[in-house]
Structure 1
């Protein structure tokens, strides 16, 4: 395939990339990989992860995670149905699992498979803290962030091929310089900001969901104050990170909390845990 054909492919891919709408923002999103492709793979990886790790069952913490997860998922369904997205969750298979691991972490697979590590529970502190984390993870699933990251990765690969072909007649030194610049440029200028935007979006969506589920959105900023204290200030600079800084998140969540409460009132929720 010659250079012009590769560039043409990039253009075609870009033209069809924005073919799905995020219901919470109304924005077009990358969707080069369909749910029919990504969900079976995600569910398989989730099952494999559980088979290789110690799943905690029957404890008060495990039960709390499951209960909070169900409430947040129900809140998301209420919001989606009320805003014209009936059936949006038909392919989702919600599951909320606590795993023995000291890492301060939680994550969500596409399609609604959510894992909390035991290491994050002391920082979550209580049910409202768990709801803050859960809302964020559910939001990742609802906004199809996994699908978007895979799609962006595919576009990055195609662009990398196009760049390699375009400079194939250059000297080896020039090729190395341009290749390195391309890698750093796309990582720092595209992929990392793309990831941070997803985290910010999930924070905002999750704040609304936890409020609709009856949890106080004012407490979300306190969770991140605890996260910041736990990190001891060891986080990398924001521009080198896949996530916004704790200070940025605290400011954002504090500013967004009133709007989250207002959204919850639309669903008759006026008192919060």
Structure 2
């Protein structure tokens, strides 16, 4: 009989030892890089070796690649001027909104945005999309503009994208990717067969990775809504925006449990629950006059 296949044989013990060793290192890595995000009050894990400056460099590289592949509108185009004006209003509110949110959690904002080099570009494309990369590079695809329909809804979208950069979601995903690679390496080094490893990773995806991605979207929705409200846009436009989004994607959207994003219905419910707070932020930073003039932006 092959000793490596005997119950309790050396091979079986070694496989367990390898898994335990990797698990111990993974736990150490997780807790040693864990902190509380002052803007959400939630625990996050960001590798201490990933600095905001490194994120910014990666964001710039990605932005330049996008500009090589897509067709930017001229800066003097009407759409470019409108989008830039909305972005400028949102950016101006980042410091006070960050301070207000951090104060709610008894913390101080880190103000990562102080190191950003902001840039806003409108890209000629039918994509219904926008993004803000680490370091402050913002892009809006022209396909989003008719779906947004007005400045208030577009501000909600841009606030959401800016929030991803402020919350350092990119660095969090990079850190999580390291842990995922560690898990795969542990499985392979322990002698786990490929089928079992694939099953484990699939279970991890549905049980952890996808819910984690959806939680990031929810965090960005909340921070983005507060930014839009504080910049004197009407946050109530978020609900009809996502109703329009749902109409445009209902035949193609995967079920929520298999998606990196919450469903439109879930988002609408969450945004409705946040609306009293958003209106409070608008009143706090704009007053009645600011709120009444929101649509003029």
Give the deviation of 1:29 after TM superposition.
1.1
- Map of 1:186 onto structure 2: 204
- Map of 1:28 onto structure 2: 43
Instruction: Report whether the alignment pairs 1:64 with 2:88.
Output: no
What is the aligned counterpart of 2:151 among 90, 105, 127? 127
Residues 197-244 of structure 1, C-alpha deviations (whole Å, 9 max, x = no match) = 011111111111100000111110110011111124321100011100
Contact 1:80–1:88 (Cα < 8 Å) also in 2? no
Q: SS state of the match for residue 239, structure 1?
A: helix
Instruction: Report whether the alignment pairs 1:260 with 2:274.
Output: no
- Map of 1:74 onto structure 2: 92
Number of matched residues? 265
Give the deviation of 1:42 after TM superposition.
1.4
Contact 2:38–2:110 (Cα < 8 Å) also in 1? no
Q: 1:87 to 1:145 in 2, by over 3 A?
A: closer
Over aligned residues, Cα RMSD in angstroms?
1.8
Give the deviation of 1:78 after TM superposition.
2.0
Contact 2:231–2:286 (Cα < 8 Å) also in 1? no
Contact 1:212–1:269 (Cα < 8 Å) also in 2? no
- Map of 1:95 onto structure 2: 119
Structure 2: how far apart are the matches of 1:229 and 1:146? Answer: 29
Q: 1:87 to 1:109 in 2, by over 3 A?
A: closer
Structure 1: how far apart are the matches of 2:53 and 2:210? Answer: 27
Structure 1: how far apart are the matches of 2:51 and 2:285? Answer: 32
In the TM superposition, 1:145-156 aligns within 5 A as 145-156=169-180
Contact 1:23–1:143 (Cα < 8 Å) also in 2? no
Structure 2: how far apart are the matches of 1:152 and 1:55? Answer: 33
Structure 2: how far apart are the matches of 1:178 and 1:114? Answer: 42
Give the deviation of 1:43 after TM superposition.
1.0
Structure 2: how far apart are the matches of 1:17 and 1:164? Answer: 25
Structure 2: how far apart are the matches of 1:111 and 1:28? Answer: 22
Instruction: Report whether the alignment pairs 1:16 with 2:40.
Output: no
Instruction: Report whether the alignment pairs 1:269 with 2:277.
Output: no
Residues 14-57 of structure 1, C-alpha deviations (whole Å, 9 max, x = no match) = 122313x3222122211112223222121122122212221112
Structure 2: how far apart are the matches of 1:93 and 1:56? Answer: 20
Q: Which runs of 5+ in 2 are unaligned?
A: 1-16
Q: Which runs of 5+ in 1 are unaligned?
A: none
TM-score (structure 2 length as normaliser): 0.84
In the TM superposition, 1:136-215 aligns within 5 A as 136-166=160-190, 168=191, 175-215=193-233
TM-score (structure 1 length as normaliser): 0.91
